[in-house]
Structure 1
Amino acid sequence: MVVTGNDPEEREALQGHLSREFKMKDLGPLKYFLGIEVSRSNKGIFLSQRKYALDLLRETGMLACQPVDTPVEEGLKLRIESNQVPVDKGRYQRLVGRLMYLAHTRPDLAYALSTVSQYMHNPGEQHMNAVLRILRYLKSAPGQGILFTKNEDHQSVDVYTDADWAGAVDDRRSTSGYFTFVGGNLVTWRSKKQNVVARSSAEAEFRGIALGVCEALWLRLLLQDLGCVSKQPIKLYCDNKAACDIAHNPVQHDRTKHVEIDRFFIKEKLDEKIVELPHIRSEDQLADILTKAVSSRVFSKGVKFFTRGAMLVFSTWSFRVLMQLLSLLKFV
């Protein structure tokens, strides 16, 4: 159990009550919890699952493997082949399941795990090779994690959202992805195949924007419950100009009939000044690594951004906010 709060007396009273009701002892400051390692320094708090990753490599016999610098080979698109070589289905499912637990502190694995998990029912040799490549990537960076750093002046909510149009070869559905930052530190992320087939890249990106807005609103309500109210609008960064134009201009009926509900939803939040939709260059879009198999250069750029961090003030209230965010962290 992790006990946190900004009132030392109340925290000690709660621990005392728990110790009277249950057999327990105080292990001191949080260092290790359910496989997640917590390190503190004057720069902030760093979360990783290094021991879990090394144990996984050791148990799978991959501790001496040749490391690679990305979890997915650039441009790789998995599919179900009619003549694919079958593999041990149970082993595949166990490996993917264990890798999924790493995703709590490894946003760099989100796209790779989202992709390989789609073939749990019928894995082939190419799918198993993709899983083994993830393990080889872990060998190159077993201690990768998330850094939460101090920042007294920056408390905004920012979202980077992207979509890969028709990227899935089997059903031509698009993949959406987003990163959300509170005050500059990464708190939630997602890589998910869309439910319907998009007929244009603008439609795919527009659905991704709607997904990002929903996540941003959830974070905003959570922060309000924690007593952290920011009057700044949420900035949602998208690199597709057509999708941004549709969001700001509701009269483009012919282009938006199939996403009409999303269009009204996003336009409402824009009109209320809750959300801003600035356009950014594709090369500055961090969410690219959540939607496609990118080059090692693009991938390393995104990963360095997350591990450097840039965020919360570690006053009593902000530490409480951080721990509450971590405890409520959503990963899908």
Structure 2
Amino acid sequence: MKFRACCKELADDIIFGATNEILCEEFLKLMQEEFEMGMMGELKFFLELQIKQSNDGIFIHQVNYAKELLKKFKLDDYKKHASSMNPTFILNLDEYDKKKSNEYGLTGYCDAHYTRDRVERKNTSEGCHFIGANLVSRDNKRQGTIVMSTAKAEYIFVARCYSQLLWIKH
């Protein structure tokens, strides 16, 4: 049987765990030989996540964080509304990777106009980006690069439009 261990360092905190209790104890001994540190026990909170471990599995949620956000923006007094999703719905990992449809594809449109201002020679460019039918980004500005033709102006803006698409995608 293979055993696995995982360790994550964040600022001055270290979180570690393993599929075998002995691995955790050995790692703790090694770390205490090198660093002054103590054990805080089972992980219950990490980066605004609440973690509950049981024999049924590990459950991660953000209930307290969501409540803090509601309180911060004074939205905690509003009426509660039930989710439209069935709370007993079982998510299936096998279906997760299957593509459902292409209706939420990322699309970008751009256009650059060669300058009419003969002194500055800076053109105006426009662009917009959609996820499905929803506009998520819009751009309309005078470019900082001086160009001598419409083709060059459009080439520069297509590069900007594509970099914006990549930024939205990731």
TM bucket normalised to smaller: 0.3 to 0.5
> Where is the helix percentage greater, Structure 1 or Structure 2?
1
Quick check: which has more Rg, 1 or 2? 2
> Where is the strand percentage greater, Structure 1 or Structure 2?
2
Q: Normalised by the size of structure 1, how large is the TM-score?
A: 0.24
Q: Normalised by the size of structure 2, how large is the TM-score?
A: 0.44
